């Protein structure tokens, strides 16, 4: 069995015990172990705050951009090997592994490009300057400077490459060193990615450390210039953010948590329109890509009552082409869930939803996987439910089943009703709305915009280029209000804000212009 290592203080650290098992979800075979026993977290923090901070602080945005481009290329060069490893560690199909790995190298490359655009600067200018006195002589200008501490990144199991890379891209470009921790169950992929990055020789000392296993007492040692960026379940998010030390120091905390994302079919669409086909195609994909283990997956499907039967039939037709099993079998196009806890949670979750919705496709139970040994592996087929009554339903707006599962819910075709149904989840990462009717869209955004971090507008005009609502593009914000964590990541240069202090400079316009003028 492989024992995974951490990379701290400039060296690989192999723990001498307390290893947690990592299992191949296709076969349930233990394939690796992870532990951070023996790591001195105070020393890890000091290494980052001293060496990492000063090395990155000395670099211009363009130089940090070059660093990110080098990291992106290094990962991309090992793509095939990482695809194979994703299969062993997470049961991902080739397509799903590529989604994660290309997301990682693509986001690093995007921020590399932004660094190049910013050029030889080390300070970000934030908005236009403004006259503060009677004349323009007394001038105000906001600037952004990197925090002097360390960015601690804790990631969920479902994106072992993209998850750490998207956070690291923003922090490193901002000029903050990183300590990253993957979820234990998918840490094999992250460990290999980090090995590739370390071997590239590009990372300055202390700029990027990797903790593979428990965080020990790391979080209780964070201070006011440090940042915690977390992605995972709402329960863990609550636990971490309520830590006494984080509350006492006001260290910045960014949370990306659960989300009951919705897809809404506008009343203007019917079966002969392109946007209708897009809706059906994308709902099926957003339910089943990465076996539904995506924070942006569609969990609730709102359809005008009169169209519900037709849409149900088409979704069932689409879901019927899904073959769940071990991706080593060529016919399989959806892998297992990541681990036994995820499988148990999915089964229990569907049972909970079944109290107020009928299962119209799938079983809501474990299934044997194609190409896998009977009774082995965490296989769970696509499951579609249909709410018995839209008004009475409650759990479907509250309980996230983190698997290939979604619930159809009828609505009256009014934008306001659709928005109020979206709102019942108390905050989502993304809502997709399929309509060509501008007035309907405007009414929906006006009533529902504040409940979601992103609205994906599926229509005839963009159908040919539609990437699907589940893709978190680095140009756009990723994060949502309320239950979704209240955080914000990515969104171009806005993604750097978490790692920088906004400073209002007030003084002579001439002086400020000479210091920071373009």
Q: Which residues bind ligand NAP (CB under 6 A)?
A: 154-158, 181, 183-185, 215, 231-233, 236, 239-240, 256-259, 295, 400, 402, 429, 485
Q: In terms of DSSP bridges, do strands 261-265 and 431-434 run parallel, antiparallel, or are they unpaired?
A: parallel
State the Cα–Cα distance between residues 425 and 298, nearest whole angstrom: 13
State the Cα–Cα distance between residues 129 and 138, nearest whole angstrom: 10
**For ligand NAP, the closer CB: 141 or 155:** 155
Q: Provide the minimum distance between the beta carbon of 232 and ligand NAP in the complex, in angstroms, as a whole number.
A: 3
Q: Provide the minimum distance between the beta carbon of 86 and ligand NAP in the complex, in angstroms, as a whole number.
A: 16
- Closest residue by beta carbon to ligand NAP: 232
Spot the catalytic one: 26, 170, 193, 295. 295
Q: Provide the minimum distance between the beta carbon of 162 and ligand NAP in the complex, in angstroms, as a whole number.
A: 9
State the Cα–Cα distance between residues 83 and 93, nearest whole angstrom: 8
State the Cα–Cα distance between residues 298 and 300, nearest whole angstrom: 6
Q: Provide the minimum distance between the beta carbon of 156 and ligand NAP in the complex, in angstroms, as a whole number.
A: 3
**For ligand NAP, the closer CB: 139 or 159:** 159
State the Cα–Cα distance between residues 275 and 51, nearest whole angstrom: 53
Among this protein's residues, is 295 annotated catalytic? yes
Among this protein's residues, is 450 annotated catalytic? no
Burial 27-44 (b: 16+ CB within 10 A, else e): bbeebbbbbbeebebeeb
Q: Provide the minimum distance between the beta carbon of 235 and ligand NAP in the complex, in angstroms, as a whole number.
A: 6
- Judged by DSSP in three states, 309 sits in helix
**For ligand NAP, the closer CB: 358 or 494:** 494
CB 468 within 8 A of CB 283: no
**For ligand NAP, the closer CB: 87 or 425:** 425
What Cα–Cα distance (Å) separates residue 281 from each residue in 58, 317, 350, 458?
A: 49, 10, 23, 11
**For ligand NAP, the closer CB: 163 or 318:** 163
- 273: CB partners within 8 A, 6+ apart: 436, 460
How many CB atoms are located within 10 Å of the residue 436 CB? Answer: 18
Q: Provide the minimum distance between the beta carbon of 236 and ligand NAP in the complex, in angstroms, as a whole number.
A: 3
**For ligand NAP, the closer CB: 64 or 167:** 167
- 46: CB partners within 8 A, 6+ apart: none
Spot the catalytic one: 256, 282, 286, 489. 256
DSSP secondary structure of 423-442: HTTS-BS-EEEE-S-HHHHH
State the Cα–Cα distance between residues 260 and 472, nearest whole angstrom: 16
State the Cα–Cα distance between residues 142 and 260, nearest whole angstrom: 37
**For ligand NAP, the closer CB: 291 or 459:** 291
- Active site residues per annotation: 256, 295
């Amino acid at each position: 069995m492989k024992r995974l290592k951490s990379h701290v203080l400039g060296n690989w650290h192999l723990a001498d015990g307390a290893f947690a098992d990592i299992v191949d979800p296709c076969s349930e075979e233990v394939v690796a172990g992870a532990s951070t026993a023996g790591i001195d977290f105070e020393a890890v923090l000091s290494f980052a705050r001293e060496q990492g901070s000063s090395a990155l602080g000395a670099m211009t945005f363009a130089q940090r951009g070059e660093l990110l481009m080098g990291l992106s290329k290094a990962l991309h060069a090992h793509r095939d090997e990482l695809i194979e490893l994703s299969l062993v560690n997470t049961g991902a199909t080739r397509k799903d592994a590529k989604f994660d790995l290309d997301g990682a190298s693509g986001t690093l490359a995007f921020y590399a490009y932004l660094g190049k655009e910013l050029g030889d600067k080390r300070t970000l200018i934030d908005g236009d300057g403004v006259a503060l006195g009677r004349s323009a002589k007394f001038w105000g200008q906001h600037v952004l400077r990197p925090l002097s501490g360390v960015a601690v990144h804790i990631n969920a199991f479902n994106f072992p490459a993209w998850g750490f890379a998207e956070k690291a891209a923003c922090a490193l470009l901002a000029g903050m060193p990183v300590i990253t921790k993957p979820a234990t169950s998918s840490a094999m992929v992250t460990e290999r990615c980090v090995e590739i990055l370390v071997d590239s020789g590009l990372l300055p000392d202390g700029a990027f450390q990797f903790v593979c296993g428990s965080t020990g007492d790391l979080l209780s040692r964070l201070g006011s210039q440090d940042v915690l960026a977390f992605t995972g379940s709402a329960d863990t998010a609550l636990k971490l953010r309520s830590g006494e030390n984080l509350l006492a120091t006001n260290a910045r905390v960014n949370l990306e948590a659960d989300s009951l994302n919705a897809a809404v079919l506008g009343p203007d669409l019917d079966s002969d329109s392109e946007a209708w086909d897009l809706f059906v195609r994308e709902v099926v994909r957003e339910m089943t890509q990465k076996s539904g283990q995506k924070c942006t997956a569609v969990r609730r499907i709102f359809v005008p009552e009169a169209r519900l039967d037709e849409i149900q039939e088409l979704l069932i037709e689409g879901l019927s082409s899904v073959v769940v099993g071990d991706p080593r079998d060529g016919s399989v196009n959806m892998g297992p869930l990541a681990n036994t806890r995820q499988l148990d949670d999915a089964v229990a979750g569907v049972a909970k939803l079944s109290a107020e919705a009928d299962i119209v496709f799938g079983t809501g139970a474990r299934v044997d996987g194609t190409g896998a040994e009977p009774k082995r592996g965490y296989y769970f087929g696509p499951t579609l439910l249909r709410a018995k009554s839209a008004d009475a339903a409650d759990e479907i707006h509250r309980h996230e089943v983190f698997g290939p599962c979604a619930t159809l819910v009828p609505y009256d075709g009014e934008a306001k009703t659709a928005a109020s149904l979206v709102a019942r989840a108390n905050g989502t990462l993304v809502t997709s709305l399929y309509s060509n009717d501008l007035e309907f869209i405007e009414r929906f955004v006006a009533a529902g915009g504040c409940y979601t971090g992103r609205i994906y507008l599926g229509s005839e005009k963009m159908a040919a280029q539609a990437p699907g609502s589940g893709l978190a593009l680095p140009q756009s914000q990723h994060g949502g209000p309320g239950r979704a964590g209240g955080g914000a990541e990515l969104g171009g240069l806005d993604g750097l804000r978490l790692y920088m202090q906004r400073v209002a400079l007030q003084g002579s316009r001439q002086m400020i212009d000479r210091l920071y003028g373009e």
